[in-house]
Amino acid sequence: MSLRSPTAGPTAEGPAETGPRLVVRGLTVRFGGLTAVEDVDLDVAGGEVVALIGPNGAGKTTVFNAVCGLVRPTRGTVTVDGRPLGPTAGLAGRGVARTLQGLGLFPGLSVRENVVVGVPRGARDADARADAQLAALGLTARAAQPVGALPYAERATVALARALVARPRLLLLDEPAGGLGHGDVAALGDVIRGVAAEGTGVLLVEHHVDFVMSVSDRVVVLDFGRVIATGAPQDVRRDPRVEEAYLGIPAGAVPHAGRDRRAPGGTGGVGRPAGGGAR
């Protein structure tokens, strides 16, 4: 991966703006009798990286899917650039691109062909845009190879290139650091910061907490479907409610010696006891 990402973000389509790209208000999602998320508020401005974190079962994926239009909210609103977000099929037309945990690539197609898929319909320079994005992320030498033959880290980079080639104003990333080694995670952070610097708003859902704290401007923490903390990474890291959510230590209590204290300052999420809520 490379810090350069010249084809991503509003600088390619027009002047960068710092107003709200994404506004979520009162988001509530229920599945039958289960309330997966309730009254969730969050904002992502242009040029800002906002991370959504929480223990297993906190509702992160439900929020992400609602923002993507894959899940219909029971209550609340999701707006992009001031307009309600419609079905997922219309994301690209609204300047929204996303990556998924499963990558969603076509293993029998070449790397270039997979990236071309991300170019908006009607664009006359699809091949040129794809080649430029491949060069920006260090994938030119792999362009003609079947994507299914690549190691996971490079396939993940192809998925990111496919999202960035759309030149999104809002980029949605679902656990992009999953399965990556230390060096690849650091390179991913460089790319995300570079994309945000060009004016794109980034919403990041991630378990890798050290990565989140290093790359994000703000962090929103969910627990059992509700927002329990939001703010700058250093403030969220010290919030006793966040420590309680991750470690089960009541706010103000002294942790037992030998307790695993990696989260929220460590590399991964900590699972909650059996019976937790939605993911």
pLDDT tens digits along 72-130: 899 999 999 888 876 555 677 788 998 877 788 899 899 999 999 888 877 788 889 99
Domain-by-domain residue ranges, the chain?
22-107+164-247
pLDDT at 237: 87
For the entire predicted model, the pTM comes to 0.82
What mean pLDDT comes out for the span 233-258? 70
Pairing relation of β-strands 201-205 and 49-53? parallel
Confidence of residue 47 (pLDDT cuts 50, 70, 90): very high
- pLDDT confidence of 185, banded at 50, 70, 90? very high
**pLDDT tens digits along 5-42:** 444 433 344 444 557 899 999 999 999 889 999 999 99
Residue with tokens 């977000």: 85
Instruction: Give, for 223, the enclosing helix (H) or strand (E).
Output: strand 218-223
Identify the CA nearest to 119 among candidates 163, 170, 171. 163
The pLDDT tens digits of the residues spanning 117-134 come to 888 877 788 889 999 999
Are the beta carbons of 80 and 245 closer than 8 angstroms? no
pLDDT attached to residue 84:
84
pLDDT for 70 equals 86
Residue 243 has pLDDT above 80, yes or no: yes
Q: Read off the pLDDT of residues 141-179 as tens digits, 9 standing for 90 and up.
A: 999 999 999 999 999 999 999 999 999 999 999 989 888
SS3 of 134, please?
helix
b/e burial code for range 190-224 (CB count within 10 A of at least 16 → b): ebbbbbbebbbbbbbbbbbbbbbbebbbbbbbbbb
Q: In this predicted structure, which of 10-14, 43-47, 137-141, 199-203 has the lowest mean pLDDT?
A: 10-14
Q: What is the rounded CA–CA span in Å between residue 154 and residue 160?
A: 10
Identify each DSSP E strand in 88-151 by its residue range: 96-99
Q: Are 134 and 140 in contact (CB under 8 A)?
A: yes
- Cβ proximity of 57 and 226 under 8 Å: no
The CATH number given to 22-107+164-247 is 3.40.50.300
For residues 249 and 194, the answer to whether their CB atoms sit within 8 Å is: no
CA neighbor of 168 nearest in space, from 3, 14, 1: 14
Stretch 198-203: mean pLDDT = 95
pLDDT at 126: 87
Across 51-67, average pLDDT: 91
